[in-house]
Amino acid sequence: MPTISRSNEFQTVITTFEVTPGTCQDLLDALSEAYASFISRQPGFIGAGLHVNDAQTRIANYSQWVRREDFQAMLRSEEMRDRNRRFTELSKSFEPVMYDVFESYD
């Protein structure tokens, strides 16, 4: 389960996808399958969430990893490289960005 806390040492990754209403559900399905069968089983994976806007033109993905190297190793795997090619086909663009939690509020 992802935890948003300044005190943790986790690596937070937020990926935004620009999509069309026609490809939004296809990409959500592909992302869900990737998490269920591959990403969630990778070393260092803590948790993730998928978010979609009302217009179905943006998908935001929040994930946490024990270490930044765990996330990078998953991205470099042949399977994830193949999956990212499919994600590219289904979106106008996407960008994973690593963040440190500056502050959190309950």
Cα 84 to Cα 86: distance, rounded to the nearest angstrom: 5
Buried b (16+ CB within 10 A) or exposed e, 40-76: eebebbbebebebeeebeebebbbbbeeeebbeebee
Q: How many CB atoms are closer than 10 A to CB 18?
A: 12
Q: Domain boundaries in the chain?
A: 11-99
**What CATH number belongs to 11-99?**
3.30.70.100
Cα 39 to Cα 96: distance, rounded to the nearest angstrom: 14
Handedness of CA 93, 96, 102, 106 (dihedral sign): positive
Cα 16 to Cα 1: distance, rounded to the nearest angstrom: 20
pLDDT (tens, 9 = 90+) of the chain, 106 residues, equals 666 777 678 899 999 999 999 999 999 999 999 999 999 999 999 999 999 999 999 999 999 999 999 999 999 999 999 999 999 999 999 999 999 888 888 7
Q: Which amino acid is at 54?
A: D
Looking at residue 37, what is its pLDDT? 98
